[in-house]
Amino acid sequence: MAKTTYPELVGQVRAGALTPEAAADRLLAELTPRERLGLLDGDLGIFQLAGLAKLMATTAISAGAIPRLGYPGVRFSDGPRGVVIGNSTAFPVTMARAATWDPELEERIGLAMGREARAQGANYSGAVCINLVRHPAWGRAQESYGDDPVLLGTMGAALTRGLRRNVMACVKHFALNSMENARFRVDVVVDEHALHEAYLPHFRRVIEAGADSVMSAYNSVNGAFAGENRPLLTDILRDEWGFRGFVTSDWVWGVHDGVASLTAGLDVEMPFRMHRARELPKALRSGRVDPAVVEATGRRVVAGVIRHAAQRDEEEPGREVVACAEHRALARAAAVEGMVLLRNEPVDGAPVLPLPAGLGRIAVIGPLADQANLGDHGSSLVRPPSTVSPLDGIRAAFPGASIVHADGADVDAAVEAARGAEAAVLVVGMGADDEGERVVNEDMDLSIFGFPLTLKPVQRIVGALTSPGQFRRGGDRDLLTLHPQDEELVLRVAAANPRTVVVVIGGSAIIMERWRQAVPGILMAWYPGMEGGHAIADVLTGAEEPGGRLPMAFPAAAEHLPFFDPDASRIVYDAWWGQRKLDRDGNAAAWPFGFGLGYTTFHVEALEERDASSEAPLRVRVGNTGGREGSTVVQLYAVDDAADTPVPQLVGFRRVRLGAGEETVVDVPIDLTPTRQRDPATRAWTARPGRWRIIAAQHSPDAALIRYGG
């Protein structure tokens, strides 16, 4: 009988002759027992640990490949801000893209990333990171879409749709992974309400949008590691949500017990043959593991790979798509659209931004002015073929001006430069040493083949062998403000030049109370990607309008935030963080969730009164009341009029672009999940008690807006 090869099976599924599951069974029938077990972990030997980072920068990492049958296995590549293989397009970080509130743009970015991943040999992308940023100190906040379940779900779903046209999309990290330093050991304690109603709805949304796979988290949840957590991986994911795809572990330290992870519902241990390779043969012989579980797990993975391959109808992308002009332009557009103008006060009778044409001398100041600064140096590190720093961008955009650069190390020199210029642009904020994935987690021990191995020597080897520059300090942020010396620099420069604009770089909220009133202009640029310098200059000149809206509130004080202990071994997550905690406690944000200025102004008005009984899109009239073309984000909030202190919840949004003086009526989609509750006993969702009203606004509404309308 002819062999049943993978390409033949994909063809039969495509033709409708087989289901993916039936095709997977055919493939499984061809496999040796060893090959079947090989489906359940990565294809690398543990001895390759030291070279892993280098390998990931050059190739996709496979799991379960069976070359003799043409079966590629799962071929993984990260990550959230672009493809980590080769010299790919470095897009603005996820948080910057969250600030675009533009799912269509995000879907196009997903398509671009998927093409670049595919062209470099991957069929599976780890780019969809949607952990809710419970606290802005989280080192990896930049990899996610902020702190609102509806925004997280909508943007994550958009990226997923875009990616899936070329590669399988993996959504991560399931679940409650939002602390970095303690990520390998912290136990997150959460009740059923907070879990299902706050921390998981966006995962469900992305899965419903077609995510092929889920990556489990490192941390534990209610006492069980996420990679061995049956309630999460089986009861919720598969039984309650009906997820048909496969689950992979977070890497190396995401599995502690091969058998426990398997029986809990984790399909593939990534990326090494490690715990499972050692434990499963024995466990099968002794009867501790049912062969049917191994079979069902392998089937899920193979069916997932076949299903995606059969659905894929794009042309095979060639390597020329990698960092092509079109993708770079997309990176630049996303950086512009995600930049949030926080403050734009008048100087000489006009808002400080855009800068007036014809400036003769501009001082560009600050430690980050001449750095492209693409984000952290963890697993999401992308190495684009070129970068543009803010200084490069400003030089290119103001060809007629003399540009003076001072890095700020010598404050007096920087002040002198500012004093002698017609405008000062300061670039300050965070970098890979301040925040990011922390690969050095000194408190974690790893057991390999039963031998305890502390991480320190491993990390030293990894550090020595990997490309220089990767694995910077990272970790959770120590500071929620700018560095004190940068605050000082801002104050001194602002005192020397009234036309001072501060461009802030960073992955999440920054407290700016010490200096924000002292400068007329503040632009939150996040980590704006490889074309970031051009994008910043586009906004400064006014060639483009900054389109961003905050994907998380910027608080006025650290005390207004939830409890956060980077060293915690146990922490309780409740449903109070971000804007909703500020609202409950009566603390005003420095800038509320959803806030952002443009170069024009808008009026929005809901065209119907609405309670929370219908999810039909709401009609909203939007008018550009200013003097130039621009955009706003219409935001719908559900407000409970029966509550003593209303805590508005985002239930929908839509970006609208209009010419000067134009008006239009748009339909804004609604997701009422935030107004619903789940009964833990029956798992049924019902309306949360209250008198709900939907209001249209341009940022999270304060009491006056709630009372009198947006």
Tokens of 156: 């994550």
State the nearest-atom distance from the C-beta of 49 to ligand BGC, in Å: 12
| Whole-angstrom distance, CA of residue 380 vs CA of residue 363 | 33
The amino acid at residue 33 is: P
From residue 270 to residue 309, what is the string marking binding to ligand BGC with x (rule CB under 6 A)?
A: ----------------------------------------
Residue 172 or 196 with smaller CB distance to ligand BGC: 172
Residue nearest to ligand BGC (CB): 379
| Whole-angstrom distance, CA of residue 684 vs CA of residue 670 | 20
Which residue is catalytic, options 78, 250, 376, 392? 250
3-state secondary structure of 118: helix
Angle between helices 149-164 and 103-119 (to 10 degrees): 40
Residue 474 or 528 with smaller CB distance to ligand BGC: 474
413 CB-near residues (< 8 Å, 6+ apart): 406
Within positions 671 to 710, which residues make up the interface with ligand BGC, using CB under 6 A?
Answer: none
172 binds ligand BGC (CB under 6 A): yes
Let me know: does 492 contact 416? Beta carbons within 8 Å: no
State the nearest-atom distance from the C-beta of 250 to ligand BGC, in Å: 5
> Catalytic site residue 250?
yes
State the nearest-atom distance from the C-beta of 176 to ligand BGC, in Å: 14
| Whole-angstrom distance, CA of residue 552 vs CA of residue 582 | 11
Residue 250 or 544 with smaller CB distance to ligand BGC: 250
250 binds ligand BGC (CB under 6 A): yes
| Whole-angstrom distance, CA of residue 346 vs CA of residue 341 | 14
The torsion angles phi and psi of 48, rounded to 5 degrees, stand at: -85, 5
SS3 content of the chain, % helix, strand, coil (to 5): 35, 20, 45
Phi-psi region of 594 (alpha: psi -120 to 50; beta: other; left: phi over 0): left
| Whole-angstrom distance, CA of residue 159 vs CA of residue 110 | 5
Residue 386 or 447 with smaller CB distance to ligand BGC: 447
State the nearest-atom distance from the C-beta of 574 to ligand BGC, in Å: 24
Phi-psi region of 253 (alpha: psi -120 to 50; beta: other; left: phi over 0): alpha
Tokens of 234: 């089986």
From residue 115 to residue 144, what is the string marking binding to ligand BGC with x (rule CB under 6 A)?
A: -----------x------------------
Residue 56 or 550 with smaller CB distance to ligand BGC: 56
665 CB burial (10 A radius; 0-12, 13-18, 19+): exposed
Q: Which of 91, 124, 243, 251 binds ligand BGC (CB under 6 A)?
A: 251
78 binds ligand BGC (CB under 6 A): yes
Q: Which of 144, 154, 160, 379 binds ligand BGC (CB under 6 A)?
A: 379
| Whole-angstrom distance, CA of residue 469 vs CA of residue 476 | 19
State the nearest-atom distance from the C-beta of 289 to ligand BGC, in Å: 26
Residue 462 or 612 with smaller CB distance to ligand BGC: 462
Q: How wide is the angle at C-alpha 200 spanned by C-alphas 108 and 90, nearest 5°?
A: 30
State the nearest-atom distance from the C-beta of 106 to ligand BGC, in Å: 19
| Whole-angstrom distance, CA of residue 139 vs CA of residue 259 | 31
Residue 93 or 397 with smaller CB distance to ligand BGC: 93
State the nearest-atom distance from the C-beta of 162 to ligand BGC, in Å: 18
Which sequence positions are flagged as catalytic?
A: 250
Which residues make up the interface to ligand BGC (CB under 6 A)? 78-79, 126, 172, 250-251, 379
